Amino acid sequence: MKSGSKLERILASGAFAVTAELGPPKGPDVSVVMRKMELLRGVCDAINVTDNQTAIVRLSSAATCALLHQNGLEPVMQMTCRDRNRLAIQSDIFGAVALGIRNLLCLTGDHQVFGNHPTAKNVYDLDSIQLIQMVARMRDESVTAGGDPVEGEVPLFIGGAANPFGDPFEMRVIRLAKKVAAGVDFIQTQCIFDLPRFREWMKRVVDQGLHEKVYILAGVMPLKSVGAARYINRNVPGFSVPNSIIKRMRAAGKGKKAREEGIKICAEMIQELREIEGVRGVHIMAVEWEEAIRPIVERAGLLPRPSLED
């Protein structure tokens, strides 16, 4: 065991893991965190807490994760390289570990031009692969990036992201291999709509035996409306919603019916993903729609979640 985190133990037990995402508020309003927390209790094995997602200032990931942990939930702290240099990143990690956080997702982070501070100076002292390597050496060799010994244990279950749909396509598997070499333990992919292309990516991952060296969780996202689908296609680089799904969302109409159809499609996607060799879990990203996660997990037949005795 690398961290002893609940997520690690579930994945190690061979069970099909479920993680979800919680978006902290744009301020210190703890009640928002508490409300979202209850929506997810018992529905997933770990909860990712985003770090200034799309470069928009929010309650820090470390603080929110500490709140989750104090309330008996398993957080996954997300860490980007945009806002901190290697000194700040390491001290924030020590703080998180001290507060009981055991899962860390290492990301490069969206460019500040997409967020609400486009004129800010970015950092990018490290990139996600260098971050993974740094955290792995802190945990396994008990050494900081600068080479000094670490006072205390850093038992972290290290995660990384992967975008099977970005270009150049051949690079995507090479990059996953680099992350594995850097010491990543689990991977959460970008949300999947284009199933054939994801299968093609997974096939190559399996061919290189990477699925035996890292737990891969497939990312999914429920669509609230046909508008949301079209917005993704136009503005979010890296992946697109195929016409078949857009047609179903349009046919579903508006409001509640559209959201139900979105949940239904997401659940069906999860069942499809479960059959793909090498997929060990699912990561549900319901941005600003945490309510949808319970019905999705339920419909996908993944309840109740396994509770580990010890």
Partner 1 sequence: MIVAERKPLSEIIAKVEGYNRLLIVGCNTCVAVCQAGGEKEVAMLAAALRLRFRDRQPAMEIIERSVERQCEEEFNQVLAEDIAHAEAVLSMACGVGVQTLVEQFPDAIVLPAVNTKFMGRPEERGVWSERCIGCGNCVLDKFGGICPITRCAKSLLNGPCGGSENGRCEVDPENLECAWQLIYDRLARLGQLDRLLEIEPPKDWSTARYGGPRKIVRKDMVL
Of 5 and 50, nearer to partner 1 (C-beta) is 50
Residue 209 as a binder of partner 1 (CB under 8 A): the answer is no
User: Comparing C-alpha atoms, which of 15, 18, 10 is closest to residue 40?
Assistant: 18
What is the distance between the alpha carbons of residues 30 and 28, in angstroms, rounded to a whole number? 6
Q: How far is the CB of 183 from partner 1 (least distance, A)?
A: 10
* Tokens read off for 268: 């069906």
Residue 64 as a binder of partner 1 (CB under 8 A): the answer is no
Among positions 130, 213, 250, 278, the unique one binding partner 1 when judged by CB under 8 A: 130
Of 68 and 182, nearer to partner 1 (C-beta) is 182
Give the other-Cβ count within 10 Å of 112's Cβ.
20
Cβ neighbours of residue 168 under 8 Å, at least 6 residues apart?
Answer: none
Residue 154 as a binder of partner 1 (CB under 8 A): the answer is no
Residue 252 as a binder of partner 1 (CB under 8 A): the answer is no
* Tokens read off for 66: 């500490």
Of 127 and 212, nearer to partner 1 (C-beta) is 127
What is the distance between the alpha carbons of residues 144 and 133, in angstroms, rounded to a whole number? 11
Residue 27 as a binder of partner 1 (CB under 8 A): the answer is no
Residue 127 as a binder of partner 1 (CB under 8 A): the answer is yes
Specify the DSSP element, H or E, that contains 19: strand 17-22
What is the distance between the alpha carbons of residues 164 and 133, in angstroms, rounded to a whole number? 21
Q: How far is the CB of 226 from partner 1 (least distance, A)?
A: 22
Site for partner 1 in 86-125 (CB under 8 A): 86, 108-111, 113-114, 122, 124-125
Residue 126 as a binder of partner 1 (CB under 8 A): the answer is yes
User: Comparing C-alpha atoms, which of 230, 295, 231, 236 is closest to residue 261?
Assistant: 295
Cis peptide before 168 (omega within 30 of 0): yes
* Tokens read off for 251: 């046919």
Residue 194 as a binder of partner 1 (CB under 8 A): the answer is no
Of 181 and 308, nearer to partner 1 (C-beta) is 181
Of 37 and 81, nearer to partner 1 (C-beta) is 81
Q: How far is the CB of 182 from partner 1 (least distance, A)?
A: 6
Per-residue CA distances from 31 to 28, 64, 232, 272 (Å)? 9, 11, 30, 36
Site for partner 1 in 161-190 (CB under 8 A): 161, 163, 166-168, 170-171, 174-175, 177-178, 181-182, 190
What residues does 161 pair with on adjacent strands?
188
| Structure-token match 């899962």, residue found | 103
What is the distance between the alpha carbons of residues 271 and 300, in angstroms, rounded to a whole number? 6
Q: How far is the CB of 219 from partner 1 (least distance, A)?
A: 11
Q: How far is the CB of 305 from partner 1 (least distance, A)?
A: 29
Q: Which residues bind partner 1 (CB under 8 A)?
A: 81-82, 86, 108-111, 113-114, 122, 124-130, 133-134, 145, 161, 163, 166-168, 170-171, 174-175, 177-178, 181-182, 190, 237-238
